[in-house]
Structure 1
Amino acid sequence: MATCKIIHTADWQLGKPFGRFPAEVSAALSEARLDAIDRLSAVASDQGASHVVVAGDVFDNVDPGDRIVMQALSRMDRANVTWWLMPGNHDHARPGGLWSRVRRVAPARVRVVDTPEAVELESNAWLLPAPLEHRKTASDPTAAMVDMPTPPGAIRIGLAHGSITEFGAAGESANLIPPDRAKSAGLDYLALGDWHGYLTVGDRTAYSGTPETDRFGRDEPGSCISVEVRQGDVPTLERVDTGRYRWFSRRWEVSGVEDLRRKVEDLRSDARLSDVLLSLKLSGVANLAERVAISSELDDKVAHELRHLDVDTSGLVARPRPEDVARIDVQGALAAAAVSLQARAEAGGPDAGVAAAALERLYVEVMRRGAEVVA
């Protein structure tokens, strides 16, 4: 029985700008996507695979810039593996465009598959690509695979970029692929891109996910798939982690700074904090001093340990105790304001949240001024 070992990957999106983040964070995330090529090389070596097939969106757009292109190609050239690069919706093929330029400068071990024609991977194994010529197309990009000729008894590996039909309602999604394409086209394996997480569809079709996670909502690290394809038999798939950065979304209920510290320690057991981007929503009820201590812990410590922190503390309610207000050692108008704000915060009316926030701000400023006087 003919067999072929490949590494299936997709959605590198090299050159992605990550513009919502500070410059040092976006630069680190962009560089990590290039570093993922080196990790994929290592996976191929460890798994004994001679080919890495990239199911679209190698680049984030059709003009990623010369540095990104040359960095990617030079890294691929260092690996003892053949790379098969196919255009996706972000980097779709067009005459005289990105892929013509890549082909001109690519080393021999990098192959561009930008036409829907079967190409020989190795003896008895053929790749059937479905490159995208537009960002969105209403037609099924894999339809041509049904009639792509390959020698009798050869392994047939499809390579495509798009959404399985069930993922979206007909007419609302583009680049739709039927879930039974592997069967209808006689494929031994269909390697897909576009979905940024690992997902299998039946026993012969899978999404590899991106090698570097790029959004909140996916706690798992970036990955690829090591695939042993066997002619006429079900392929063997092994998901392999490749990602450096982890994008965690968490909702924590806390009542004091010690609660927060325990949850941070739990997070530390999941990943190295310097490689974590955290989207955090806090909830709970804390006295005013603890509310301020929690904010200080996040701003002065946790945010600096993490690669990046997005935090929403609007769900953490401050319930000031009499002793909290007593510590606001002010007189005259400020004293009256503190009492009024406390009453409004405790009343729970429509402006209770604003009153609590204002009281907290007053508390912080008084404590800060007191610390400066002592110093």
Structure 2
Amino acid sequence: MRFIHTSDWQLGKPFGRAPEQARAALLEARLDAIDALAAAARREGAGFVLVAGDVFDSPEPGDRIYRQALTRMKAASDIRWVLLPGNHDPARADGLWSRLASEAPDTVIVCLEPLPIELAEGYWLLPAPLQYKRTQDDPTAWFDHAETPDGAKRIGLAHGPIRDFGSSTAAANLIAPDRARRAALGYLALGDWHGRREIDALTHYSGTPEPDDFDREVSGVALRVDLAGETPDVVQVGIGRYHWMSESWSVASGGELDGLLANLAPGIERQHLVLRLRLSGLLTLAERVALRDRLESELAHEVRWLDLNLDDLYARPTDADLADIDASGVLRVAAERLQALSATEDAAGRRAVAALERLYVEQRRADRLEAR
């Protein structure tokens, strides 16, 4: 018995902080992950794809997301898909899941009840569908007493956190960390944790197949699980298109940018990079303006999405910088006043730096227009 374990597709996730074009691309990539999972199943010789909850980002994902998901699974008719409601898309009465159960082809198994399902001869699935977003009960508790034929290999499918994650607040949908042992499972496929994590040899989180945030543990993967032996053989399989990275660079001069950009994310194509970039340091005003312009006009268009923060990159104007701002007159007076205010490290100082930079940029723009 060989299958693909995946979870947390969260189809329809809005990515509200991203620019419009990036939002559309990231949303589409999550749908494309269905095709990538089908390809991985064929490549790995797996007949089933088990989705451990949060197939959709909400109980009302919209008609396009719903139709795209169903159409893509239908197209992969050589694969059997097993879908479980999670906390983002709980199985409300007469809602999304009822519709899916009535419209899905035979190759799509929709788990709406906590009842054993025979996947193949000798292999039984114990699903734990969530009816509500939050519950204080362990959704897998029934596994311990579930009746399956003697000698059957039991596979658990559930969505929720494990106790040893160390949360300081009471978690909902809490799953006992030793559930696989208690319920005599051959494997427990879990969702909810967006990074790939092994709890023990029998219990695994697959993580989301398409990364969805910065600083995650390993994500963008699925797990190929083989139950032929005494213990499951679990292999990580790459699925995701985009790579989410966080970088913090300290710069002492504008000239350092070339080297930093040259060594950014080796082996990853820029169009597949979602980058959170934080810069710190102290530059001249001209250097800071030139650096920002290069990042916003070049790098931001090379990567899928650049989340840029220059709050800790300070500018200390030189005499040459100030000379470029109205050598005499009211603008020069304003620039000198802003320069004095920018010497402080408080909020007022940061606002003064931003205002001085804006004044510098506008003056240079005006100079270029006059020179035409």
Normalised to the residue count of structure 2, the TM-score between the two structures is 0.94
CA distance in 1, matches of 2:285, 2:168: 53
* Alignment equivalent of 1:54, drawn from 51, 65, 70: 51
Q: CA RMSD in A?
A: 1.9
* Alignment equivalent of 1:125, drawn from 95, 99, 123: 123
Secondary structure, in 3 states, of the residue corresponding to 1:163?
Answer: coil
Q: Which runs of 5+ in 1 are unaligned?
A: none
Q: Which is worse superposed, 360-369 or 162-171?
A: 162-171
Pairwise CA distance, 1:346 = 4.1
Which residue of structure 2 aligns with residue 314 of structure 1?
311
Which residue of structure 2 aligns with residue 330 of structure 1?
327
Cα 1:322–1:219 shift into 2, 3 Å: farther
Q: Deviations over 1:102-137 (max 9, x none)?
A: 111111111111111111111111111111111101
- Sequence identity percentage: 49
Which residue of structure 1 aligns with residue 163 of structure 2?
165
Cα 1:328–1:141 shift into 2, 3 Å: same
Count of residue pairs brought into register by the alignment: 371
State the AA in 1 paired with 2:72.
R
Write the mapping of 1:78-117 to structure 2, written as runs, cut at 5 A. Answer: 78-79=75-76, 80-117=78-115
Q: Which is worse superposed, 53-62 or 363-372?
A: 363-372
Which residue of structure 1 aligns with residue 67 of structure 2?
70
Secondary structure, in 3 states, of the residue corresponding to 2:295?
Answer: helix
Q: Which is worse superposed, 148-157 or 188-197?
A: 148-157
Q: Which is worse superposed, 204-213 or 334-343?
A: 334-343
* Alignment equivalent of 1:210, drawn from 192, 208, 211: 208
Contact 2:195 2:219 in 1 (8 A): no
Contact 1:219 1:249 in 2 (8 A): no
Q: Deviations over 1:307-342 (max 9, x none)?
A: 112211110011222222223343122222333333
Cα 1:156–1:16 shift into 2, 3 Å: same
Which residue of structure 2 aligns with residue 277 of structure 1?
274
Cα 1:289–1:161 shift into 2, 3 Å: same
State the AA in 2 paired with 1:374.
A
Write the mapping of 1:1-375 to structure 2, written as runs, cut at 5 A. Answer: 4-79=1-76, 80-169=78-167, 172-218=170-216, 220-230=218-228, 233-346=230-343, 351-375=348-372
Pairwise CA distance, 1:199 = 0.3
Cα 1:158–1:269 shift into 2, 3 Å: same
Contact 1:8 1:226 in 2 (8 A): yes
Contact 1:13 1:60 in 2 (8 A): yes
State the AA in 1 paired with 2:160.
G
Secondary structure, in 3 states, of the residue corresponding to 1:156?
Answer: strand
Pairwise CA distance, 1:92 = 1.0
Pairwise CA distance, 1:372 = 1.5
Q: Deviations over 1:287-319 (max 9, x none)?
A: 111101111011211111121122111100112
State the AA in 2 paired with 1:76.
M
Q: Deviations over 1:57-109 (max 9, x none)?
A: 11111122232222112211222111111111111113322111111111111
State the AA in 2 paired with 1:281.
R
Contact 1:196 1:209 in 2 (8 A): yes
